[in-house]
Structure 1
């Protein structure tokens, strides 16, 4: 394997100058930099990542913790985050927390052990210990998709309540009369806010929402199917359905078909997220 000494000899500089170029730790003349970079390219030299990290006090690595990267929403989110990180010169370590506090904490400790420069996390129901450990190690972190109310960590989220309100208005515009909602766990802010926005829009036009017309299920395709089948069994006359996640909405579409109805004709349906599927 080619080392720093070989690069230095080829470029006619000292090994320290090679380090200055690869680490960016000292100023180097343009002519010298060109010679060193040419030697690196010619010899195929790869600087030691650990040494570079020590020199810069940075690893140019981010930790990304999501609930489930097989979910199309989180798959697309992870891909976009990775693209943005790569464009900025960073690599991404990905962990699937599976909404398990124990599993999430294990990944956070792995990120810390790998000395990541920062962490992006979609937190579960109880992520307090994870954020405590990140704060203790002074690792910058940001929450996305979900707000963790028990921490001052910055969050990047969509307008869940406003988006659900718009979705309900769209259903109302189709002259539907029997409305229902399928959402996730209502103890989660994301689910609660989407349900609230939908309910407010429905009530503003004088339509009362029956309690049994709001169902809470897993944010999965199976969860959407199961909730829709239960809904149509208790009230076959439902003709407008707001589903608080697209992956649930795909399951709801399957359930509508399985019940002998036509999606978009017998039952108007709208999901939330905007995934490609």
Structure 2
């Protein structure tokens, strides 16, 4: 059976309240007495009840992180960075995969609030704001990453997706391309819409028409990039270069290009977005 605070107090010859003050740092305890209590806690392998402590001090030292899919390298990188910083600052991180489903987001929000997390970092599934509205009712601090939502619901950390789309397209134009396609992400996600807007702006400033048939839908996954690339290659006036709105789709597009008996960059140039580690491992290495 696990040691209790009473066991520690009896072994150390002090009151349970003194042990509690050492555990929670709520009152001055002399260095010698603190050391003796800490030694007994170690001997008995005493582990304070973190939930009970959080009820007293209103701080659990935990953070909830909700992402659409942690197998996606972009979300995996974000999750790892948050976990690393959280650990350095003394926080544990609860990772939740929503699969891009609003009902799972709301279920995780309810679970994390019940666990009394100190805050939630959220990459939402899209335009749905119901999970964020749930959080405002609980007065739980929330930061939304890479998604645009009303500022009244959360603080935001955003990428400059529009400028990124411009830079990717300008790079292809600088290589001499004039028939440049674009494989988009899901239309309801603002990162995809902003990257496509950047593509259109770069084409417009170079006086190059962005033909509607050169803009094909994808899903931010390799299969979507492969299907989109095949659609572009099947066109009579197929693009000689493609901006894929994320690296996973660019990798899928590379597969479609090879399957068509073409080479990159000799026959078709391609640029991705996100700079995931996998981009440097494919052959040829992906420009992103």
Compute the RMSD of aligned alpha carbons.
Answer: 1.7
CA contact (8 A) 2:143 2:156 kept: yes
In structure 1, what is the Cα distance between the partners aligned to 2:160 and 2:75? Answer: 17
Q: TM-score, normalised by structure 2?
A: 0.91
Moved more, 59-68 or 43-52: 43-52
CA contact (8 A) 2:144 2:155 kept: yes
In structure 2, what is the Cα distance between the partners aligned to 1:204 and 1:125? Answer: 30
Using the TM superposition, give the Cα deviation of residue 187 of structure 1 relative to its aligned residue in structure 2, in angstroms.
Answer: 3.0
Matched, 1:7 2:8: yes
In structure 1, what is the Cα distance between the partners aligned to 2:128 and 2:118? Answer: 20
1:30-45 equivalences in 2 (<5 Å): 30-45=31-46
SS state at 1:135 partner: helix
SS state at 2:183 partner: strand
- The gaps in structure 1 that reach 5 residues or longer are none
Using the TM superposition, give the Cα deviation of residue 46 of structure 1 relative to its aligned residue in structure 2, in angstroms.
Answer: 0.9
Q: TM-score, normalised by structure 1?
A: 0.94
1:221-236 equivalences in 2 (<5 Å): 221-235=222-236
Using the TM superposition, give the Cα deviation of residue 253 of structure 1 relative to its aligned residue in structure 2, in angstroms.
Answer: 1.0
SS state at 1:110 partner: helix
CA contact (8 A) 2:185 2:218 kept: yes
Using the TM superposition, give the Cα deviation of residue 107 of structure 1 relative to its aligned residue in structure 2, in angstroms.
Answer: 1.1
Cα-to-partner distance string for 1:128-181 (whole Å, 9 max, x where unaligned): 221111111100001001112474411101100011111112112212221011
Cα-to-partner distance string for 1:208-250 (whole Å, 9 max, x where unaligned): 1101101111111111111111111114642111111111111
Partner residue in 1 for 2:189: 188
In structure 2, what is the Cα distance between the partners aligned to 1:36 and 1:66? Answer: 41
In structure 2, what is the Cα distance between the partners aligned to 1:10 and 1:200? Answer: 73
In structure 1, what is the Cα distance between the partners aligned to 2:22 and 2:249? Answer: 51
Moved more, 106-115 or 12-21: 12-21
Using the TM superposition, give the Cα deviation of residue 182 of structure 1 relative to its aligned residue in structure 2, in angstroms.
Answer: 0.6
Partner residue in 2 for 1:50: 51
1:154-169 equivalences in 2 (<5 Å): 154-169=155-170
CA contact (8 A) 1:182 1:215 kept: yes
- The gaps in structure 2 that reach 5 residues or longer are 279-288
In structure 2, what is the Cα distance between the partners aligned to 1:276 and 1:257? Answer: 21
